[in-house]
Amino acid sequence: MISFDLPLEPTKRRETYTMVTWVRFWIMGVMLVPHGAISQNTNETSSRQKRLFSIFNIVTFKNDVCVSTGAGNLHGTCYDSTSCSSKGGTASGNCAAGFGVCCLFIVKGSCGSTQTISQNCTYIRNSGYPVADATPSETCTYEFNRICDNICQIRLDFKTLKTEDATTGICGTAADTILVRSPFSESSNGFPPAVCGTLTGQHMYFETGVTGGAGTLTIIKGTSTGSRTYDIKVTYLTCDNTAKAPAGCTQYFTGPSGSFQSYNHANGQLLTSQNYQNCFRQEAGYCRLEIKESATTMPDPFLLSAPPTMAEVTCQAVSFLSFPTPTLSSFCGGILDSTDTSTVANPQTSIPGTAFQVGLRTLGTTLADLAGFNLDYTQIPCA
């Protein structure tokens, strides 16, 4: 006789918020005993009785991130097939040595009501994706459930994000607005900032607090009849996750070198009312952070305020980068350099012992013809 228990309701583990699927097998084999065999000695009878056996196997696997087999090889979550279906996911390939399926969670559709995000590694897409959505003057709201008690942050990866912006850099009215609200900050000018335009390839972290809802993402379509396309990956991060960003960091980068840009730099327009930190994980053996203008010249890799062809060191009344160096702590103008009116860009290096962070502050008024920044960073080994 072979019997199978139905999968148990997944149990959330506090330390990893993973769920375990139990598969149980009972196999009972009965050996027919030839006529007259019971007259043989006790040892032989005992040996034959051992042929009557029971095997109890347990197959367990965590609900880890997996890679789907569909178009784009999207990240999913490893579940048993029954759980994937009951949670509203779609199976795309196998995981856990074939005992599980790579379950994709995609939220899309019209913006008539609030949609709930209740699974890690969910993709939020516009109605009709990958075709652009041209419907103006709508509000799309996505509410993040607290999927376990140990959630501290959510990371949004803008796999594709192209919305309407304005040549003034102001999000809203004719332009669209992408707005995150979380228990960490309810202020309209707080962390993280409202954004719009082209943000493909960029990301955003925000704090969730430790109780109640985990926050909301609102995409407010402006009155413009232009098109919007978005594919946003949602990743929940537990408080003990090594990928968690330092508190208060909107963008977080790892590795000894790389590049980072202001939001909407790809569209060549600096956004207004930005006030956030770009943070960098300090790698082992490195003590200082160096930043410099990217070699890419279009859009301009550094243009935060006038004049567009000179460095400025008096930045309190304009948009600027905050970055403490031995000679200066803020940078503005059209050239990244610490010398006033310099027309040649030069790398800038942080003071040893200071946090690996680059802040951005922009004015709330029109910022027409200002591109923002596209910078390379390199961590410098300790002496």
Decide if 142 contacts 107 (C-beta within 8 A).
yes
Q: What is the pLDDT of residue 225?
A: 86
User: Which among 153, 189, 180, 360 is positioned nearest to 276, based on CA atoms?
Assistant: 360
Considering the domain architecture, whether residues 34 and 124 belong to the same structural domain is answered as no
Considering the domain architecture, whether residues 53 and 96 belong to the same structural domain is answered as yes
| pLDDT range class, residue 247, cuts 50, 70, 90 | confident
Decide if 63 contacts 77 (C-beta within 8 A).
yes
Considering the domain architecture, whether residues 366 and 236 belong to the same structural domain is answered as no
Domain count, the chain: 3
Q: What is the pLDDT of residue 38?
A: 38
* Mean pLDDT (whole number) for 132-161: 94
Q: What is the pLDDT of residue 56?
A: 55
Considering the domain architecture, whether residues 383 and 250 belong to the same structural domain is answered as yes
Phi, psi of 42 (to 5 degrees): -60, -40
Rounded Cα gap, residues 230 and 280, in angstroms:
26
| pLDDT range class, residue 36, cuts 50, 70, 90 | very low
* Domain boundary, last residue among 244, 265, 291: 244
Percent helix / strand / coil, the chain, rounded to 5: 5, 40, 55
Task: Render pLDDT for 65-103 as a digit per residue (tens, 0 to 9).
Answer: 999 987 788 999 999 999 999 999 999 999 999 999 999
Considering the domain architecture, whether residues 257 and 212 belong to the same structural domain is answered as no
DSSP class per residue in 95-155: EGGGTEEEEEEEE-S-SSS-EEE-SSSEEEE-TTTTSPB---S-EEEEEEP--STTEEEEE
Q: What is the pLDDT of residue 43?
A: 55
Rounded Cα gap, residues 308 and 319, in angstroms:
13
Q: What is the pLDDT of residue 57?
A: 64
pLDDT above 90 for 299: yes
* Domain boundary, last residue among 244, 262, 279: 244
Q: 56-60, 308-312, 313-317, 360-364: lowest mean pLDDT where? A: 56-60
Q: What is the pLDDT of residue 62?
A: 87
Considering the domain architecture, whether residues 96 and 176 belong to the same structural domain is answered as no
Q: What is the largest CA-CA distance in the chain?
A: 109
H or E element in which residue 48 lies: helix 42-49
Q: What is the pLDDT of residue 10?
A: 35
| pLDDT range class, residue 212, cuts 50, 70, 90 | confident
pLDDT above 50 for 105: yes
The neighbouring-strand residues paired with 182 are 185
* Mean pLDDT (whole number) for 258-277: 97
Considering the domain architecture, whether residues 131 and 97 belong to the same structural domain is answered as no
Considering the domain architecture, whether residues 86 and 117 belong to the same structural domain is answered as no
Higher pLDDT: 10 or 230? It is: 230
* Domain boundary, last residue among 228, 244, 260: 244
| pLDDT range class, residue 141, cuts 50, 70, 90 | very high
Q: What is the pLDDT of residue 186?
A: 57
Q: 46-60, 77-91, 186-200, 223-237: lowest mean pLDDT where? A: 46-60
Q: What is the pLDDT of residue 11?
A: 35
Pairing of strands 249-253, 23-29: unpaired
Q: What is the pLDDT of residue 27?
A: 35
3-17, 170-184, 340-354: range with highest mean pLDDT: 340-354
User: What's the half-sphere exposure (Cβ side, CA atoms, 13 Å) at 204?
Assistant: 26
pLDDT above 90 for 44: no
Look up the domain containing 340 and give its range.
Answer: 246-383
Q: 172-186, 250-264, 341-355: lowest mean pLDDT where? A: 172-186
Considering the domain architecture, whether residues 62 and 123 belong to the same structural domain is answered as no
Q: 5-9, 251-255, 348-352: lowest mean pLDDT where? A: 5-9
CATH code of the domain containing 181 = 2.60.120.290
* Mean pLDDT (whole number) for 109-131: 92
For residue 313, how far is the Cα from the chain centroid?
35
Considering the domain architecture, whether residues 152 and 250 belong to the same structural domain is answered as no
Considering the domain architecture, whether residues 153 and 238 belong to the same structural domain is answered as yes
* Mean pLDDT (whole number) for 285-306: 96
pLDDT above 90 for 59: no
Considering the domain architecture, whether residues 240 and 252 belong to the same structural domain is answered as no
